[in-house]
Chains A and B, each alone.
Chain A
C-alpha cells in the first residue's frame, strides 16, 4: 500500500526523518519496500538501504504562484502568455497548456489561477520526453517571446505521468510559498502482510506509528451536516445470509454537484495509486484509503426508478447459477451461487465487495459519450458493508477482479467500520459536492463479530518471551494499540478493539497478544538466552547418513554430483527408449497447474535427468562423469505418491583427459562404469554379482544387472544405439540406474576385517583358452573356489584372441598369488594348488592351459 506521509500526518505527528520512520515500521512488521519522494528533500545518505527514488523540489525555485490574466500569444495559436504573480513580482510566462485556453483573452481573472511555478534553473522532469528524464530550465526564446520559467504539469513535478495541462491548485494556495512546503510529500510503499489487514489504510498505519513512537493518534473530529428528510423508511435492507454479509449500512446524500475533486484530494489519490474520477467516486475511494472501509455509491434515482414507486429494497444474496451482471468496467460477468450479490427487487446491482454494476453507477453526463441519454447523478445512496473475506477472496480470484475494495474485503474488514465509513464518505461528498446529507443511516447488523476478551498474565509473557514485565507495563504497551486493559494483580483482561479481526480467543489470543507485546516492547530489547530446556532424546537419520555416504564414495571416485528439476515431461523421459516413445506409457504424477509443458509431471527417472545434464554439457568438457541422487514419484491413485530414491550415473567422453604430450583418444565405456560400480559396491561392503541383462535403454550386448543374491540393485550398460540417437552427445555413453533404497537397505555398516597376510607370497601367471561364450567370471569363480584359502588373489590381466588361440576361443590370462594365512607356502604346496586349478578348469569348463 502506498502511504503519502503528508496524509499520515493528518493522523499522527511525525518528528522522525522519513527513513527513520520507514525503519521503525519495517522492524515492527510493516515492511517498507520503497520510499518515493515527491517534492520533499531526498536524504543525503541512504543509511538503511531503502529503495529511494523521486524528485526534490527546490524550495527557492519551485513555488506556488497565481496567474492573473491569460493572454494570447501574438505569433502562436496554441500558446498563451500568462501574467503571473510569484509572491513578489509579476512576470510573463509562456505556456501551451490546453487547460488555460478557456481563460485566454478573458481579461483579468476574478479568481486568479493557482499554479506550480518553476523559475529559471529549476530541475524538473521533461514533460515532453518519453518516461522520466530530468532537465534544467534554461532561458530561451519561443516564437519571439522570452521564456525562462514555466508553470508545471504533474509529470514535470513527478506527481504522475499526466502532461495534458498544467496543475491548477486549490484556490487557497498561498502565492510565493515554496511548493515543497505547500504539497511536498514522500510516499512509503508498505507491504501489508496478511495479519496486518487492519493497517491497509492511512488510519491503520498512523495507529501503528502512534503506538511505536508514543505520539497520540489524532482522530479526526467532524460534524456531519444533515438536512432534509431522514433516510429511514426510504430504503430497506434484506440480508439473506449473515455469515456472508454480517452487516450492511446505507446513507443518503441529495443534490450533489458532480465535478472534479479539490486538487489536494486528486493529488493524494494519485500518490496512493488511485485515479481521480469525480468528487463522488473520489470520496468513496478517499474514505477507503483513509479509514479502510470500502464504500459503494449507487445512483439513488436509478434505484427508485427500478423500484417503480415502492421503497428501495436492497437485498444481499447468493447469485443464481449463470446470473449475469455488467460491471462498471463494462464487462459482462457470469456468476454462480458462490458469488454474493447486492440486488434490488429487480435484480443484481453489484458484485458484493468486489465491483459495482454499470447500470446504477454514478453518472456524469458531461463526460459521457455522445448520444448517451442518462441524467447526471444527483442523489446518492452510499453503501458500507461487511463481507465474509474468504467468499470475497474466492469471487475476486475466480473473476480475476482485484479491485482495491476486493483487496481489503478479501483480507478482512471489521464490520464495525461500516458506519464510520458511510459517515465519513457522506462527509467528504458533502464537502466536495455541495450535497445535503439525509439524517440517519439504515443499518442491518445481524451478525456482530465477537471481539475477543483475552486474559494474559505476567507469567504468559515470561513463558513466551522470556522477559519479566509488570502487568501495568504490559497493559500500557497494549493500550497504545487501543486494546482496553484491566489489570488485576498479575493478570490483565484485554479487550480487542472493534477494528481488529486478527486476535483469537483462548491460547491463540494469548499468542496473538504476545506478538503485540513483543513488537511494541521491541524485539531487539528481548535478551538472547540459551535453551534451558533439557536436551531431547537424540535421534539419528541412518537413511540420510547412508545416502550421504554413497555421495561421498562417488565423489571420491571422481564423479560430479548434479541436482536437477524434479518436474519433467513424459516425452523427455521417453528419450531413454528406442524411438523416443513407449508402447505402454508410464503413469505419472501430474501437476494440475504446470508452469511449463516440459515441467508438467513429476519425474519417474533420475537417469533421464542426468542424461539431460550430460547433453547440455556435452560440448563443454572432454569427459563427463556425473551422478544424481534423488526421488522419483510413483502415483498411487488419488493418494500420496511413493517417493523412492534412485541413483543414476553417467560416464561419457574421454577416458583420459588430453594432455600436451598424450593424445590418447580412448572413450569411457562399459568397463569404466563397471569399475566405478565395483568400487562403490566394495566400499559399501556389498558382495554383488553381475549378470547380462536386458533393458530397453541399453545395448543388448552391453548391459548388466547388479545382483545382490537374487535382488537386482540396479542396471547399467552402454546406451542402446537407437536411444543414443535421441540425444545430442557422442557415443558411447555408459550409464547406471540404481534402486537406491535397495542399496541403502543392503548396505553393511558392520563388517569384519581380514588380517593382513605377512607370509611371503608365490606369484604366478596362468593363461587358459576357453570358448568365446564362456563368461569370464565363471573362470575366476572356479579358480577362487579351487584355490581356497591358499589363493591370496586372482586378477585377470589379459584377454587375447588370435588364430593361434583358435576361432571361437579366447585366452584369459590371470595373475595368481598363492599365499597361506598359516605359514610360508612351499613351492610344492603352490604347485599342488596350481595343478588342482588347471585340472578343474579343464574338467568343468573345458579350459586348456595355454603353453
Chain B
C-alpha cells in the first residue's frame, strides 16, 4: 500500500508538471485530489488494512495528500500568472488610436476677453456699470459735449431709429458706451446732489457704428470704458492707472506711450499705445513695423460732461478711457478678420 501511495504521489506530481492552463489544472485537481482520486481512495480502503498497517498507511496517505495539495496550489499560482501575462499581452491597445470625442463647451472669445479686462479693472477698483443699447441723442452725444451737427459726430457714424418726430433728440444705437458715464453720474449725483460720491466704474457693452462690414470694420462691437471721478484726480493718475492696466493685461514689462488726440468728452485727450507684445517693439507685421500698438483712447473728463452728470467741474475732476476687447483678442491671436466674431463659425469658436 505504501508502495502504491509513493507511486500515486510520483505519477500525480509528474502529471502536474505538464499542466499549463486552468482547465487542465481543474482536471488534475479532480483526478488527483478530488473525492474519487487515488489518494482519497486509499483512505476509503483503510478499513481493509491490518491494525499495524493502518497508522502507517494513514500517515503516509495524509502526507501524499498534503504534498499534492501544496503542489497544486503552487502550480495554480504559476498557471494564473502565466494566464495573466498572456492576457495582458493580448489586451495591449494601440494607444495612438484617437480617443472617443468628449464635448467641450466654451465661452465666446469676445466674452473671454471682456471678462478678463473687467476682472483686471475690478481688482483696480473699477466696478461694472451696464446700460442700454438704444440711446437718445442727448445721452449718446449732447451730454457728452457733441452738440447737434458738430463735426465730431462724423467720427462716429450712427444708426438712427425710426421713432417719430423727436427734433434734436432722436433715438440711435449707442456709438460708444459713454452714455453710461452720464447715466452713472446722474444716478449717483441724483442720490446726493450736494455731495456726489466719487466714481470708479467700468462700462462694458455692445456699440454700433454705421460702417460697411469688412475684415476691419463691423456694425457692432464691444467696448469697455472706464471712468474715475473724484476731487483729486489728475492726468498723472490717468497715466498711472492705464500703465498699471497695461502691465496687468500685457505683462509686467509692458511699456506705454501717450499721443495727444481729440474726443469731445475729454480734455486733454490722448491715445495710448502699448509696445508691441508680439515683437517686443522691434517692429513686425502686427504692429506694422512701428513697434507700438494702438490700444485705447483716454482723457480728462470734459467740464461740460461733469456738469451734465451733476458733478461740479470746479470741485471734481476725472478721467475716462475706452478700448475694444475684440481688438485685443485680434492682436493677441493675430486674427485678421473681425467678421469672425459674430460669424460664429464653429471652426473659429472651437479654437478658444
Q: Which residues of A contact B (CB under 8 A)?
A: 26-29, 31, 46-50, 193-197, 389-390, 393-394, 410-411, 462-467, 507-508, 510-512, 514-515, 518-519, 523-524, 526-541, 543-544, 548, 551, 554-567, 589-595, 599, 602, 613, 616-617, 620-621, 623-625, 631, 633, 637-641, 643, 657-662
Contacts and interface: CB of A to CB of B under 8 A. Distances in A.
Interface stretch (B12-20, B57-65, B153-161, B330-338): B153-161
Given A555-B105, A620-B347, A563 B111 contact: yes
Contacts of A643: 132-134
Given A531-B228, A538-B127, A638-B166, A49 B134 contact: no
Interface string B262-302: 10100111100000000000010001111110000000101
Given A557-B105, A592-B162, A29 B219 contact: no
B259 A29 contact: yes
A49 B268 contact: no
Contacts, number: 274
A637 B129 CA distance: 27
B248 interface: no
B317 interface: yes
Contact of A561 (B99, B108, B162, B257): B108
Contacts of B147: 390
Interface string B315-343: 00100000000000000000000000111
A49 B244 CA distance: 26
Interface in B230-245: 230-237, 239-241, 243-244
Contact of B220 (A507, A518, A567, A633): A567
Contacts of A625: 103, 105
Contacts of A518: 235, 260, 268
B230 A523 contact: no
A323 to B, nearest CB: 22
Contact of A544 (B100, B128, B257, B270): B128
B198 A533 contact: yes
Nearest to B269: A515
B33 interface: no
A247 B129 CA distance: 48
29 contacts: A47-B283, A49-B283, A49-B289, A49-B290, A194-B264, A390-B147, A390-B148, A515-B268, A531-B233, A531-B240, A533-B233, A534-B230, A536-B198, A536-B230, A541-B128, A541-B129, A555-B105, A556-B105, A557-B105, A561-B111, A563-B111, A590-B161, A595-B213, A602-B134, A616-B344, A617-B344, A617-B345, A659-B101, A661-B100
Nearest to A196: B262
A29 B261 contact: yes
B290 A555 contact: no
Interface string B133-156: 111100000000001111110110
B107 A389 contact: no
B279 to A, nearest CB: 11
Nearest to A617: B346
Contacts of A593: 159-160, 210
B338 to A, nearest CB: 13
A194 B152 contact: yes
Most buried by B among A50, A538, A539: A539
A626 to B, nearest CB: 8
B155 A49 contact: no
B234 to A, nearest CB: 3
Given A531-B241, A613-B344, A49 B259 contact: no
Interface in B161-218: 161-166, 170-171, 173, 197-201, 206, 208, 210-213
A526 B151 contact: no
Nearest to B165: A638
Contacts of A559: 105
A640 B108 CA distance: 29
A532 B130 contact: no
A616 B342 CA distance: 12
Contact of B259 (A27, A548, A554, A602): A27
Given A529-B240, A592-B161, A620-B345, 14 more contacts: A47-B283, A49-B292, A465-B235, A515-B260, A541-B129, A555-B107, A558-B103, A561-B107, A561-B108, A563-B342, A593-B159, A593-B160, A616-B344, A659-B99
B267 A511 contact: yes
A465 B236 contact: yes
A530 B237 contact: yes
Q: On chain B, which size bracket covers the interface?
A: 35 or more
Most buried by A among B99, B128, B236: B236
A523 B235 CA distance: 9
B234 A465 contact: yes
Nearest to A545: B128
A638 B350 CA distance: 42
A249 to B, nearest CB: 24
A551 B233 contact: no
Contacts of B251: none
A560 B233 CA distance: 42
Interface string B52-91: 0000000000000000000000000000000000000000
Given A564-B342, A599-B219, A193 B262 contact: yes
B303 interface: yes
Contacts of B164: 637-638
Contacts of A389: 151
3 smallest beta-carbon distances between A and B, as pairs: A49-B290, A466-B236, A466-B234
Contact of A531 (B170, B211, B237): B237
Given A464-B300, A523-B270, A535 B236 contact: no
Contacts of B166: 638
A519 B260 contact: yes
B125 interface: yes
B263 to A, nearest CB: 9
A464 B317 contact: yes
Nearest to B104: A558
Given A195-B262, A541-B127, A507 B314 contact: yes
Contacts of A660: 97-98
B161 to A, nearest CB: 6
A555 B115 CA distance: 15
Nearest to B206: A566
Most buried by B among A463, A563, A613: A563
A560 B106 contact: yes
Given A393-B151, A466-B236, A555-B107, A591 B162 contact: yes
Nearest to B288: A49
A234 B233 CA distance: 60
B219 A623 contact: no
B250 to A, nearest CB: 16
B42 interface: no
Contacts of B148: 390
A505 to B, nearest CB: 11
B146 to A, nearest CB: 9
Contacts of A641: 134
B139 to A, nearest CB: 9
B100 A535 contact: no
B260 A523 contact: yes
Nearest to B202: A541
Contacts of B343: 616
B162 A657 contact: no
Contacts of A537: 197
A528 B256 CA distance: 11
A631 B341 CA distance: 17
A640 B133 CA distance: 10
Contacts of B303: 507-508, 510-511
Given A29-B261, A617-B345, A566 B133 contact: yes
A548 B241 CA distance: 26
B121 interface: no
A538 B127 CA distance: 7
Contact of A554 (B105, B201, B212, B292): B105
Contacts of B152: 194-195
A394 B239 CA distance: 38
A823 B346 CA distance: 53
B200 A536 contact: yes
